[in-house]
Structure 1
Amino acid sequence: MMKIVLSGVNLVEAGPLKVFKEAIIAFSSCCDFEVICLVNNEMLFSDCKKSNVTFLEFPTVKNSWLNRFWFEYKVCYRLSQEISADIWFAMHDISPRVCTPLQFVYCHNPSPFYRASMKELKYERKLFLFSLLYKWLYKINIKSNKAVIVQQEWIGKFLVGELGARDYIVSKPLTSKPEKELIKNDFSNQSSITFFFPALDRTFKNFEVILNALSYLKDKELNVYKKIRVILTINEFSGEYARKIVSEYQDLEQVEFLGTIDYDEVIAQYKKCDVVLFPSKLETWGLPISEAKEFSKPIILSDLPYAHETLGNYTSATFFSPDEYVNLAEIMKNIVDGKHVFEHAHYEDSDAVVGSWKQLVEKFISIANEK
């Protein structure tokens, strides 16, 4: 039986925690593995407990970056000597110093790929700093990994080409198949068309391009503007940045600022809307793209590498430059006018892609057996 360490002491919420749990379940479901999990709080993992899984808690690592560095480069080395694992899989970006035969790191933070501006300096200073410094955190000790694990191939290519990683494996999130084979693309017989953009109040989500497009239509194409309804999941209580957005665009009567909603309501909005918008400038995946496909909705999305790769093959999509609000306004006008907008999108995965956690486990076993 092989022994693997899954290190995720910094993962306590949302998507990264979900990914960590999926990894624990996948490796523990394989009878070939004894799994040692380094976690912040064992109580978060009650649904992952099995006879071949051991949890070690490190609750203070998140308290400061000094604690984090001490853990990654001192504590992990001592643990690797004590545990004598066959594989060490770091689940949160940083490649620790360990004396384990095989080492991998999961890179999920997209900050190094974002060009921050004064907007981030004012409203999201952590993102501003990460955009400048995080790639150097990625680079430290990255060559000690047999491969870096990423959600998209363009990230893997960057880490290999720019930061010196030895290889990459693309582990894509599982996605559901569309509810319907036929997707409604023509809304010319409707009195109004609803566009939905589910996103938190982060500066890189690019709410402004949608709102500027609507301002443009209100000024230039009032009849078109009146037929459009846009649903956003922010409001004045969502945070400082969202408050500024709502205040600046409060004259747009066709926009509904819903605020944060639970996932059941998100699903309800997907089902009710006509078109999904996704203008974000920064993602390692972009879950609403997959969800738009699941609910068989046409989608307008940023013409960026992450969006093409996440979308994959789909019969109803159109791309636009995320900085060009006039371009987006023209797309929305054409939809209202009943013109053909949505096309078939195609993306070809490479051999570096594994389609599930089960396949990634098998890949690790194969690599370990080669040594």
Structure 2
Amino acid sequence: MNIFVIATTLQAGGGITIYKQFLSHLPEHIGQNKYWIFVNPVLPQVVIEGVIYISFPLQSKIKRTLFEDKLLKAEITKLRVKPDVVVSLQNKGYKCFNACKQLVYFHQSLPLYPGSYNPFKRSERYLFNYKHIFPRLVKRTWVKNTQFVVQTPVVKKRFASYFDIPLENVHVCFPDIEKIDPSQGEIHDWGDECFHFLYVSACAKYQNGITLIKAVELLYKKNPDLASKIRIHITSNPHRAPVMYKQIQKHGVADNFIFEDSIKHDLLMNYYKSISALLFPSSIETVGLPMLEAAAFGTPEIVADVDYAHYVVDGYEGVTYKNVEDYGAWAEAIENACNNKRIIIPLVQIRESEWFTFFKLTQG
């Protein structure tokens, strides 16, 4: 069979991770099929027998729009190849291939959860678009009986309900997760007597950094001595997270928050071993990888009381769930993490790769 794979608009984030995992598993599933992979040139193009890459340098939004109805059609005409199956790794479908089977990997969970975003605020405009514009656009591209792949049962349920898709047309393929050896790495020396926490976040509105700010502010009223010793390390910087930075200054807790920017993998693992707790108040995630990483070290976690979190770290005794709007509850949980040290059994990752489910769906 000729299988077309579309990955032309993937440029950053989880989409690239999906693409790389797809390539890593492709050799063992390719069989006698021939894969034609249409890619953004920034993506790796690994040499695999039976795979041909067609590069599309699509940078502007206008060109991306044109790709759907012009550039792809023109390229297919030149190739003189008709697909038997079309696989989209980027949420959208393709009307121009309505006569063949289509498989869409949907990996944008923001539309599936409640959230209010202001299109007139620069920091929220892209969230507004993903919440309200994006789902309308992608739904129009899906052909009848398209098969969908999502990452968790939680997303499957929300996706099917939101888009009114039959559950039998939605399949779960949990992404590969790095197996972490908790014996590796070392305890990080902070060089002080403070209580250190980690907030792995790009500081988007739905990741609820304001919850941590107000929780610390409340702690100053309740236990100022303890509050003055709290240090929350953020995996972003003031330039990329100006709203978070301004709120920290506004609430007078600048001494408590440390912008680390991106943290190298080895140092991040050391941080997990050394912090008082991971703080993860995000209301929207597909998986929430930091929760799994911290749990692998037996690190305490304070996380949003949301369905995805309950699924991902189900059975881990070190997790505490809190409503992100209950700032007092977060303040109390942070205080408890400082005062109550205990040994927690690490969450062992024994999950096998589920990519076989994905490739099984590509069969005609």
Same-fold call, TM cutoff 0.5: yes
Residues 88 and 105, structure 2, Cα contact 8 Å, conserved in 1: yes
- Higher deviation after alignment, 139-148 or 7-16: 139-148
The answer for the alignment partner of 2:186 in structure 1 is none
The answer for the alignment partner of 1:186 in structure 2 is none
The answer for the alignment partner of 2:27 in structure 1 is 28
Distance of 1:120 and 1:280 partners within structure 2: 23
| Pairing of 1:84-123 with structure 2 (within 5 A) | 84-97=82-95, 98-112=97-111, 113-118=113-118, 121-123=121-123
Distance of 1:233 and 1:31 partners within structure 2: 38
Distance of 1:344 and 1:264 partners within structure 2: 18
Q: Structure 1 pair 123/333, CA: closer, same or farther in 2 (3 Å)?
A: same
Q: Structure 1 pair 198/297, CA: closer, same or farther in 2 (3 Å)?
A: same
Q: Per the alignment, in what secondary structure is the counterpart of residue 288 of structure 1?
A: helix
Deviation at 1:340, TM superposition (A): 8.5
Residues 302 and 322, structure 2, Cα contact 8 Å, conserved in 1: yes
The answer for the alignment partner of 2:327 in structure 1 is 325
Deviation at 1:195, TM superposition (A): 1.4
Q: Per the alignment, in what secondary structure is the counterpart of residue 109 of structure 1?
A: coil
Residues 8 and 92, structure 1, Cα contact 8 Å, conserved in 2: yes
RMSD between aligned residues:
3.1
The answer for the alignment partner of 2:246 in structure 1 is 244
TM-score, L = length of structure 2: 0.83
Q: Per the alignment, in what secondary structure is the counterpart of residue 195 of structure 1?
A: strand
The answer for the alignment partner of 1:63 in structure 2 is 60
Distance of 2:239 and 2:212 partners within structure 1: 20
| Pairing of 1:179-194 with structure 2 (within 5 A) | 179=181, 192-194=194-196
CA displacement, residues 110-160 of structure 1 (integer Å, 9 cap, x when unaligned)? 231341234983423111222121221232143534321111223222332
> Is 1:6 matched up with 2:5?
yes
Gaps of 5+ in 1: 182-189, 346-352
Deviation at 1:11, TM superposition (A): 0.7
- Higher deviation after alignment, 29-38 or 353-362: 353-362
Residues 179 and 296, structure 1, Cα contact 8 Å, conserved in 2: no
| Pairing of 1:77-88 with structure 2 (within 5 A) | 82-88=80-86
Gaps of 5+ in 2: 184-191
Distance of 1:259 and 1:6 partners within structure 2: 34
The answer for the alignment partner of 1:208 in structure 2 is 210
Q: Structure 1 pair 162/242, CA: closer, same or farther in 2 (3 Å)?
A: closer
CA displacement, residues 310-361 of structure 1 (integer Å, 9 cap, x when unaligned)? 223323211111121111011122233428999999xxxxxxx994223421
Residues 89 and 106, structure 2, Cα contact 8 Å, conserved in 1: yes
CA displacement, residues 260-291 of structure 1 (integer Å, 9 cap, x when unaligned)? 33333323322321311110122222221121
Deviation at 1:205, TM superposition (A): 1.7
Residues 120 and 127, structure 1, Cα contact 8 Å, conserved in 2: no
Residues 88 and 100, structure 1, Cα contact 8 Å, conserved in 2: no
Aligned mate of 2:227, from 220, 225, 229: 225
One-letter identity of the residue aligned with 1:300: I
CA displacement, residues 93-126 of structure 1 (integer Å, 9 cap, x when unaligned)? 1111114521111111223134123498342311
One-letter identity of the residue aligned with 1:257: F
Q: Structure 1 pair 312/137, CA: closer, same or farther in 2 (3 Å)?
A: farther
Q: Structure 1 pair 133/103, CA: closer, same or farther in 2 (3 Å)?
A: same
Residues 11 and 40, structure 2, Cα contact 8 Å, conserved in 1: yes
Distance of 1:119 and 1:308 partners within structure 2: 31
Q: Structure 1 pair 260/344, CA: closer, same or farther in 2 (3 Å)?
A: closer
Q: Structure 1 pair 293/4, CA: closer, same or farther in 2 (3 Å)?
A: farther
One-letter identity of the residue aligned with 1:68: R
One-letter identity of the residue aligned with 1:59: P
Aligned mate of 2:279, from 267, 274, 277: 277
TM-score, L = length of structure 1: 0.82
CA displacement, residues 30-65 of structure 1 (integer Å, 9 cap, x when unaligned)? 242321111121x6314x2212111111113x411x
Deviation at 1:364, TM superposition (A): 3.3
**Aligned pairs, how many?**
346
Distance of 2:283 and 2:346 partners within structure 1: 22
